[in-house]
């Protein structure tokens, strides 16, 4: 009783039965009324013909009352048909009754509105009288009753057939409607059991098909996120275990007297501790960004000031490696709405990566230009580039798919993921374009400080 399929079948059946039943009742009423009107018309035409013949033979209506009284009293052709009482009153050309039929007597005047609606009696092209209905439809004879009964049976059989067809169509339609829901229910139950990757066949292009497509995307995203989570957990464990192993080895050696406490060993331990600290700080930054709680102080910020700060910070490193660090800034750029420290963190990460993967004699270009309703801050290098199959994953956490850009010892593997989170927290977006052997360009699109863009 609680099944959606059962409820849909009952709903379709009730709707169809009510509709067919209402149509059958209306058809029966219309058929009965029109048949009574047809019988009444036949009797009226017969009465008009008899009246016209009487007047043609006698030239007046004298004795017409007795004539039609005898005519009405004659037995019907079918003995099973009850005698029909007088149905019509006959009025002469002056509108006076000449046949006594209740509620009129011979000589009573007939109201003008009834005369206007009556059937004319014409002889030799002249109207000599009027026939007026004074009773409802007469009793039907056996053949007429049989005809109506057969019509009613046909209507009943049609209604029953329509109900059966509606029941069959309801069953098929209900099953077709609930089948995607059953598939989704089974897939959800499988996901609840831990099997996150579920794909339900899309069987239609309607709302259920849209729901199924949305579920399939959700399932794929959840499975992908779960895989990333597992991979990130394994990567975090690996990145934590390596420096901890080094530090633990030094401590054990110093405690057992195997190692002497030299400045070099303390420096190595300090470096490993700094690596751990960076990893922990990056993880905390990501967790705050994911929760929408990353502290930021957005103010109108000059793009030129950001680029000048980058040149001052990374210029010596670039010069030491014989890498050209150039700035190309479009004049008249508006300020962007950003946290200067966070944006320096983003752009500094991009410049640091460019320095790592650009060979000596290469070039790194920092640029700022207007793009539609935003400012595009770009860091372009002439390094080895990124493979096309790796490019979609460069912002994934701990992703190690590109040997040319594998994680180095002083990296946490979270820099680009953090940069993406910070940019999106500002309402901007970050893009990457690269070609093997040609270099890589990271572009940060940031909104104007003013909505007008001026």
Please answer whether residues 9 and 170 qualify as being in contact, where contact means their C-beta atoms are separated by less than 8 angstroms: yes
Backbone angle region of 408, left / alpha / beta, with phi > 0 → left and psi within -120 to 50 → alpha: beta
**What is the tens place of the pLDDT at every residue in 97-140?**
888 888 888 888 988 888 888 899 999 889 999 998 876 655 56
Sheet holding 119-123, edge to edge: 88-92, 126-133, 119-123
pLDDT tens-digit series, residues 277-332? 877 887 788 777 777 777 888 899 999 999 999 999 999 999 999 999 999 999 98
Query: How many angstroms separate the CA atoms of 181 and 359, rounded?
Result: 58
Q: Quick check: 444 and 428 in contact, CB under 8 A?
A: yes
Q: Quote the CA–CA distance of 234 and 453 in Å, as a whole number.
A: 45
The whole-angstrom separation of Cα 65 and Cα 420 is 109
Residue 435 has phi, psi (to 5 degrees) of -145, 130
Residues 414, 364, 407, CA angle at the centre, nearest 5°?
A: 25
Task: Count other C-beta atoms under 10 Å from residue 405's C-beta.
Answer: 23
Count Cβ atoms within 10 A of the Cβ of residue 140 and give its class: 0-12 exposed, 13-18 middle, 19 or more buried: middle
pLDDT in tens, the chain (454 residues): 466 677 777 777 777 777 777 777 887 778 777 777 887 888 889 889 989 998 988 888 888 888 888 776 666 555 555 555 667 889 988 889 888 888 888 888 988 888 888 899 999 889 999 998 876 655 566 676 777 778 778 878 877 887 788 778 777 877 777 788 888 888 899 888 888 888 888 887 878 888 889 999 999 888 888 887 777 677 677 677 878 888 888 898 888 888 888 888 888 888 888 888 877 887 788 777 777 777 888 899 999 999 999 999 999 999 999 999 999 999 989 999 999 999 999 999 999 999 999 999 999 999 999 988 899 999 999 998 888 888 888 888 766 554 444 444 445 567 888 889 899 988 899 999 998 888 999 999 999 886 444 3
Q: How far apart are CA 161 and CA 153, in angstroms?
A: 12
Q: CA-based diameter of the chain, in Å?
A: 155
> How would DSSP label each residue in 96-165?
BB-S-BTTB-TTPBPPHHHHHHSEEEEETTEEEEEEEE-S-PPPP-HHHHHHHHHHHHHHHHHHHHHHHH
DSSP sequence for 40-95 = HHHHHHHHHHHHHHHHHHHSS-TTHHHHHHHHHHSPPSSTTSPPPPP-EEEEETTS
Q: pTM, whole model, 2 decimals?
A: 0.51
Q: For the stretch 23-39, what's the b/e string if a residue is b when 16 or more beta carbons lie within 10 angstroms of its beta carbon? A: ebeebeeebeeebbeeb
């Amino acid at each position: 009783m609680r099944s959606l399929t059962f409820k849909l079948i009952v709903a379709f059946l009730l709707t169809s039965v009510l509709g067919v039943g209402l149509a059958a009742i209306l058809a029966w009423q219309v058929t009965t009324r029109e048949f009574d009107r047809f019988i009444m018309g036949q009797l009226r035409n017969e009465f008009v013909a008899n009246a016209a013949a009487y007047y043609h033979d006698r030239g007046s209506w004298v004795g017409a009352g007795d004539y039609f009284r005898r005519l009405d009293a004659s037995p019907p052709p079918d003995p099973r048909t009850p005698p029909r009482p007088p149905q019509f009153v006959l009025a002469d050309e002056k509108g006076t009754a000449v046949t006594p039929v209740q509620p009129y007597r011979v000589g009573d005047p007939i109201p003008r509105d009834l005369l206007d609606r009556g059937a004319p009696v014409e002889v030799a092209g002249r109207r000599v009288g009027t026939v007026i209905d004074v009773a409802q439809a007469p009793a039907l004879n056996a053949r007429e009753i049989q005809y109506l009964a057969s019509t009613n049976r046909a209507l009943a059989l049609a209604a029953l057939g329509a109900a059966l067809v509606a029941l069959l169509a309801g069953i098929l339609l209900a099953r077709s409607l609930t089948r995607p829901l059953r598939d989704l229910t089974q897939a959800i139950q499988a996901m609840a059991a831990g099997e996150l990757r579920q794909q339900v066949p899309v069987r239609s292009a309607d709302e259920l098909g849209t729901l199924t497509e949305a579920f399939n995307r959700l399932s794929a995203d959840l499975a992908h996120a779960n895989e990333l989570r597992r991979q990130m957990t394994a990567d975090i464990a690996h990145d934590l275990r390596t420096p901890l192993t080094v530090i633990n080895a030094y401590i054990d050696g110093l405690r057992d007297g195997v190692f002497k406490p030299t400045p070099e060993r303390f420096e190595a331990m300090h470096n490993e501790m700094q690596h751990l600290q960076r990893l922990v700080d990056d993880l905390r930054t990501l967790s705050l960004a994911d929760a929408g709680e990353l502290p930021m102080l957005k103010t109108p910020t000059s793009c030129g000031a950001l680029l000048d700060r980058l040149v001052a910070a990374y210029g010596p490193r670039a010069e030491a490696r014989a890498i050209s660090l150039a700035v190309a800034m479009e004049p008249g750029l508006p300020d962007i709405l950003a946290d200067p420290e966070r944006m320096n963190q983003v752009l500094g990460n991009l410049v640091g990566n460019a320095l790592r993967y650009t060979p000596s004699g290469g070039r790194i270009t920092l640029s700022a230009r207007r793009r539609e309703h935003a400012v595009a801050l770009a860091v372009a290098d002439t390094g080895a580039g990124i493979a096309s199959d790796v490019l979609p994953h460069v912002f994934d956490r701990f992703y190690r798919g590109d040997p040319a850009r594998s994680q180095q010892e002083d990296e946490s593997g979270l820099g680009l993921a953090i940069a993406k989170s910070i940019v999106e927290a500002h309402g901007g977006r970050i893009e990457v374009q690269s070609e093997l052997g040609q270099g890589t360009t990271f572009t940060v699109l940031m909104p104007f400080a003013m909505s007008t863009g001026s």
